[in-house]
């Protein structure tokens, strides 16, 4: 399977090495470097969080590139199954098949679309990301591929000026000039400024910045606003009222004897006390259960803190946008008995694992509702780069 994977890549400049952990990523990088052409520069894109160790292992090689997304972020998107050709094999390695496009470029495009961007804007975000991860070589590869294809595919047209330049100066010279011009313009364009001037600096490129996903601060603020103690205990007053009603029933039980005619006061009191005692023993059992069901509020707040902490982490891993997060919070409040869930969490051997499993089930359902996408073609990427020249 690995040999087939390598043979399919052909001219591809950027090879995606997304494995579950750093040691596996390093091993796969070593295997791919042995197979790659010595005639052409190739880059290996690795997950954001694994870059430093992988980069150091290969002597800080310039051919190791830091992806804009973590392995977990890409894994969750892959498992949702809504990007064509994005696959994960039995070892956990994630890759694109039949697509000559970097992982970060594709994920940036997809996230932009899921966040409501038009296709043109989403492709622009993808190009910016490709430039930030690889640099000028990214633009060169796209342009060179397009010029190469125009010689063999009649219906693909290049700008008249580009064709003239190729005839006069040669394809290589034109590719270099166009790539340099596009990269410099991208760096200083107003669009780039709006993206916090992140281009060509992969160290600060993250999914949140590039695609408009919420920041971690916004995520925490939103969660605390809707999964708060006040929200959690909104029904406690009703439960308390029910308990109070039962207590009143106990008191009333002591006066039942007064409704019995022709019986002395002493007997009435005795009968009333006995009936009240009987009713009291039954009701007290029920009351105790209700009180215990509430369990200590301080413990529930600790469980809520664990739950919210895990939710904040997983929302970032699943790259939820604000609308999706609001839907998740709504569903937890409306579709789940959170008091019951926190009670179960309190009793669980591993409370963090309990919270994580519960949250991931809900988030997986949400991300599977995203639209199914095909990543941009080389033609679409080229046209975006051409506009920057």
pLDDT digit string (tens) for 206-225?
A: 444 455 567 777 888 888 88
- Judged against a pLDDT cut of 50, whether residue 204 lies above it is answered with no
Q: Among 112, 109, 53, 61, which residue's Cα sits nearest to residue 86?
A: 109
What is the average pLDDT value for the chain, to the nearest integer? 75
State pLDDT tens for residues 38-63: 656 689 999 999 999 999 999 988 89
Position 14 scores a pLDDT of 85
Mark residue 243 as left, alpha or beta (left: phi above 0; alpha: psi -120 to 50; beta: remaining).
alpha
Question: Which residues on neighbouring strands pair with residue 16, listed in sequence order?
Answer: 45
Position 200 scores a pLDDT of 38
Position 219 scores a pLDDT of 84
| pTM for the structure as a whole | 0.74
Q: What whole-number percentage of the chain has pLDDT above 90?
A: 30
Position 221 scores a pLDDT of 84
- What is the mean predicted confidence (pLDDT) over 339-361? 93
In angstroms, the Cα distances linking 153 to 147, 148, 217 are 10, 9, 49
Query: Which CB contacts under 8 angstroms, 24+ apart, belong to 216-223?
Result: 216/312, 216/316, 218/322, 219/312, 219/315, 219/316, 219/325, 220/308, 220/312, 222/322, 222/325, 222/326, 222/329, 223/308, 223/311, 223/312, 223/315, 223/325, 223/329
- Give domain limits for the chain: 2-213+371-388, 217-367
Position 253 scores a pLDDT of 44
Sequence-distant (6+) residues with CB within 8 A of 143 are 174, 175, 178, 179, 382, 385
Q: Among 139, 97, 200, which residue's Cα sits nearest to residue 13?
A: 139
Position 97 scores a pLDDT of 74
């Amino acid at each position: 399977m690995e040999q087939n994977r390598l043979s399919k890549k052909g001219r591809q400049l950027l090879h995606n090495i997304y494995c579950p952990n750093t040691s596996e990523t390093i091993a796969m990088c070593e295997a791919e470097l042995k197979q790659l052409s010595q005639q052409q520069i190739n880059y290996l894109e690795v997950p954001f969080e694994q870059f430093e160790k992988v980069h150091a292992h290969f002597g800080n090689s310039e051919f190791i590139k830091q992806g804009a997304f973590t392995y977990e972020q890409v894994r969750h998107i892959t498992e949702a199954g809504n990007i064509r050709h994005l696959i994960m094999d039995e070892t956990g390695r994630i890759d694109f098949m039949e697509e000559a496009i970097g992982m970060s470029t594709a994920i940036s495009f997809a996230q932009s679309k899921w966040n409501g961007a038009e296709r043109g804007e989403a492709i622009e975000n993808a190009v910016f990301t490709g430039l930030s991860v690889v640099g000028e070589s990214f633009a060169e590869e796209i342009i060179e591929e397009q010029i190469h294809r125009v010689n063999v595919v009649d219906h693909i047209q290049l700008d008249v000026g580009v064709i003239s330049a190729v005839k006069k100066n040669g394809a290589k010279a034109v590719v270099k000039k166009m790539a340099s011009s596009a990269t410099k313009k991208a760096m200083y364009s107003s669009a780039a400024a709006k993206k916090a001037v992140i281009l060509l600096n992969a160290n600060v490129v993250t999914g949140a910045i590039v695609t408009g996903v919420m920041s971690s601060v916004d995520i925490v603020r939103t969660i605390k606003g809707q999964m708060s103690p006040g929200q959690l205990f909104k029904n406690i007053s009703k439960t308390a009222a029910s308990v109070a009603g039962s207590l009143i029933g106990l008191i009333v039980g002591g006066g039942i004897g007064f409704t019995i005619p022709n019986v002395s006061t002493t007997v009435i009191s005795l009968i009333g006390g006995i009936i009240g005692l009987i009713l009291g023993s039954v009701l007290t059992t029920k009351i105790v259960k209700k009180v215990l069901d509430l369990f200590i509020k301080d413990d529930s707040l600790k469980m809520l803190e664990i739950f919210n902490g895990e939710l904040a982490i997983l929302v970032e891993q699943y790259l939820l946008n604000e609308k999706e997060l609001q839907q998740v919070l709504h569903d937890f409040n409306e579709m789940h008995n959170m008091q019951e869930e926190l009670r179960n969490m309190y009793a669980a051997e591993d409370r963090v694992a309990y919270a994580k499993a519960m949250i991931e089930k809900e988030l997986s359902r949400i991300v599977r509702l995203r639209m199914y996408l095909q990543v941009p073609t080389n033609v679409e990427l080229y046209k975006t780069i051409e506009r920057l020249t």
